A and B are shown apart, each in its own frame.
Chain A
Amino acid sequence: MTILVIAEHDNKVLAPATLNTVAAAAKIGGDIHVLVAGQGAGAVAEAAAKIAGVSKVLNADNAAYAHQLPENVAPLVAELGKGYSHILAAATSNGKNILPRVAAALDVDQISEIISVESADTFKRPIYAGNAIATVQSNAAVKVITVRATGFDPVAAVGGSASVESVAAAHDAAISSFVGEELAKSDRPELTAAKIVVSGGRGMQNGDNFKHLYALADKLGAAVGASRAAVDAGFVPNDMQVGQTGKIVAPQLYIAVGISGAIQHLAGMKDSKVIVAINKDEEAPIFQVADYGLVADLFEAIPELEKLV
């Protein structure tokens, strides 16, 4: 059994989610190869070769793969993937974009966002916004899977000494092209990898008031998240959204401020180790999952908490 893991990267840096994906591959068992598809991503391939447990890195360097366009990357993965028992990628926006296309090319169903490996063909995944956990078994020759990073502890980024091989295969479907991107810039830790997350909801009232959360987060070394209500109201950009349709986080500490706790929000954070809720409404559903609840006006509680940290 040999497993192909698709590296998540931006041509410069290997994303941490790759380490969680390799951890899932290690649970399945077998040789682990990592594919780096990109342009000028030599440093990423070098970093992938150092991951503990990886035996080979395939470096596909081509202008067609520069922006991870699925029309070009999926045929590459499908072609290389035929010889593997499993193809894994992190359930990031890239992984979700590319892998179903790979599965269709191989004529197999894809398994989305697994949270545990039961055996080489059996996996657990959440359905209905995390309100049920399904155990699914695949009879496909190649199992194509996306991995929910928070379900697996990352493997060590160093300690491995895999060989790096170049892959010549160039697939350019020439039916799509990259135009541009607008990435949010922040000095705070990345939301999905942060140890502490402070999130604000509709109760923040406006975008300016998020400065209170930023101040608290900076003292805690935390990332800042948001509920859908806060995003829809334009308080913060959508890449901060935590929930069924946003990001899935499972930090050591999640502080929900002015968030009622709708099913769709809980789907994104209820695996956090400790949950704190600060809300004026003592009936808010968030208190049913919170380890520590404080019924208080957030505009008084947050500055006070910030002073105490």
Chain B
Amino acid sequence: MDSAAIVDDAIVIEDNEDFVVEENSIKLLPIKRSADDGLNHAHVSVKKSKSTYNDVESGFRLFRKHLMRHLNHSLQAEQTRIFKYLTDTKEEISRVLKQSIIQKESHSIIMVGPRNSYKSFLIDHELRLLSKNYKNQFITVKLNGFIHSENAAINGIAAQLQTQLEELQGTEQTLAEPVLKEQDAINTDISSGSLTEVFEKILRLLDSAATKTNNVNKSNNDTKITVLFVFDEIDTFAGPVRQTLLYNLFDMVEHARVPVCIFGNTTKLNILEYLEKRVKSRFSQRIVYMPQLKDLDEFANTVAELLSPLPASLENDNEQYLSQWNNLISELVKDEKSNLFNQIRLNYDTFKSLATFKNSIIPLIGSGQNFEDLKLSMLSCKLIEGYHLNQLQNGLTSTIRSLSDLELAVLIAAARVSLKSKDEMINFNLTYVEYKEMIKSINAKVPTSSNLTTNRHLIKLWEKDDVKNVWETLQGFTFITEKGAIGIRESAIAAFYASNYQFHGSTIPFDLRLYQMQVTLKELRTVVPRSSMYYTWTQL
């Protein structure tokens, strides 16, 4: 495989100019042009070259896939690399899980950490490891506070219990009639009765399953099935009213005959203050705070771990690539002048987030065509910069730069009106008057040598009806927002109430509605280029 040919091809790393906003002057149309001459610029140049994705060497492709799976933590449990800074936490989770699954103790534990701090990942990882040897010893019930409401959670528990028990018993081929019947009965009227009644049914189901397996296994009475609850966003269940679900589950930890283990994941540091007194007293008070990366060195090392999969776990085909790659990464991370290290430092100073770094590295790896190519782009880190550049192209600054001259003029006029007024309120009428004055005084400064040429150098003053379109455009970009607007509502019920309410602003005429600016004149002055003819108008 000729690597140079591939680099020359259409999809290469180098042609990343097209996500840089072109600021160069607009090519004016040569109108004076007889129609006979060739259409040399009518067509957009279309790259016709074939994609090279099918030509990627299979060994490299396997390596790339392995690397991507490593990045996404989707490798097999043994191959998954746990970051060094997480090992203590991992050990603790593993201990709790083993105590409850193997030794059949009941536990409850809440894990607290920001988003993307590997809470679910660690639990899943441990469960995958444990399911190798103790597959029949436990059932996992997963609930998510975003998706499950309190009532839905009860149904969700019942449904998940049923399917998993069926699986367990199906593998042991002991589907006895009475158990099935009981399950059916429970499932059909699971929604009837109070929550505690439903819980009783669930508990009875668990008990019967446990005894059933006991009879089959003919072992000692300890081998009950552990029920493991994993709650994501447990704070949504710890709402201000009742907390029945949590109360009953934590109560099961204390009193039930079945070993129950509850994992709660949350982002709230003060999760204990959410819990009611009776719920808190049943909770084991064990809270694990997810560790954070302490300094830049640790962060860099963790990024290196993120980028380098564990060795000696691949087929021989990829071994060469893998060791080369890992060496490259460790070298780059050690070298404080390397581009990669710069990117790491940048991330550490701003986001300090491994997930963000992962997102920026995926396009780099995904578009690597061969190993040399991938190595080069890793050395230059151009694509990581490109990713960050792309992320910013929707921001306020780049949106202001994408405005046409009339839109910019109206925006500046609105900012001027907002600065002049006491309560920073603007409306269309006032803005249009300001715009008119602006254009008039710009035009007055234009030297008029002769009367004939005046019109040609003047700036067009757009009519009020036309500027209305621009006004709505600015509204669409949320440079201006309606006074007292709330925007997106927190929950579905709030959105429902809002949709039934007729807002004052929608009943009054278009040009009298009150608006607020989202950019001030001072900020506009920093964004508008000095060469713009409206630059002088960016201050009062």
Q: Say if A and B assemble together.
A: no
